[in-house]
Structure 1
């Protein structure tokens, strides 16, 4: 498990209306956008290595609780791990509670039903194709909530390093080459 940079492909300044969002054109547009990203990666020398799946279940605090929503995620590339994110202040990501736990964490949080309950309506999944480019794994996937298409998510992982500060320069260079719009 290396250092990953995950971002959502935005639709730009042309925000679709509610009617367009429900239409198949919107789904086609983003599917085509994912297809373009995949072709760009392949043209740059990336090889297809398989598929991946991420599922996420938000656990919301029950009434009278002051806790944050806790997002529990599973990634098919890391089957023995559970990822937990509890965003507090959405503007300060450095102080966001994050944890990587073993698979048994799911059992623990289910036993905490007096404080948290799963929000199945907000559950989502991301599935797509994984590419390999030297020491980088790039995953391009479609996000679905229930059966509604929500957008395209790209995950770029630099595998040799585990410390973010050490991998940041390599990730920055890779992102500038393939996804320059998403690098500040």
Structure 2
């Protein structure tokens, strides 16, 4: 695994979600990319019941790139505790139903085609929440490098050549404090959770 950056693609009023994915697919194929399957990242959020006292939130995410892992982030006040477990964690959350309730209306996912081009892996994600389309997320992974600070300029240049001026000159907020760290799968999960949170807020759910 290399360094991954997520970028929201701006929607045009006269273009639907599937049309946007088709437009981006044509762009990436024109650059010489090959489609290699599909991908999906999903997130379900659980809230603690009032009897537990202070409000706690558990976000449970799955990434098809790590099919044997379940990613969870526990939020309590300003503290966030990350956890990587196996598939049994999903069953454990069911057992905790009396303590944590799932907010079904906030279940959100990003899925779509997956491409490989040179040292890059590109994923075009159609974001849906409760089966309602919310936007498009572009994920770009630069595989030869595991240090964000060394990979950012290459990823930025690739993204700008692919999706244009929508790409910021600065790395995503989450990565800005991790530029000299070794990139981990949980870093990708954090980025997805940040973007999913933005879509939820725009909907007025959270």
TM-score (norm 2): 0.67
Corresponding residue to 1:152 among 118, 136, 139: 136
Which residue of structure 2 aligns with residue 45 of structure 1? 32
CA distance in 2, matches of 1:11, 1:88: 34
Query: Secondary structure in 1 aligned to 2:69?
Result: strand
* Cα offset, 1:128, TM superposition: 0.6
Where does the alignment leave 5 or more consecutive residues of structure 2 unmatched?
170-206
Q: 1:118 to 1:147 in 2, by over 3 A?
A: same
Q: 1:29 to 1:58 in 2, by over 3 A?
A: same
* Cα offset, 1:100, TM superposition: 3.6
* Cα offset, 1:108, TM superposition: 4.1
CA distance in 2, matches of 1:105, 1:80: 11
CA distance in 2, matches of 1:45, 1:53: 23
Which residue of structure 1 aligns with residue 62 of structure 2? 74
Corresponding residue to 2:72 among 74, 78, 84: 84
Which residue of structure 2 aligns with residue 5 of structure 1? 5
Corresponding residue to 1:61 among 36, 44, 48: 48
Corresponding residue to 1:119 among 81, 99, 103: 103
Contact preservation (8 Å) 1:175, 1:183? no
Contact preservation (8 Å) 2:10, 2:166? no
TM-score (norm 1): 0.74
CA distance in 2, matches of 1:62, 1:8: 33
CA distance in 1, matches of 2:120, 2:76: 30
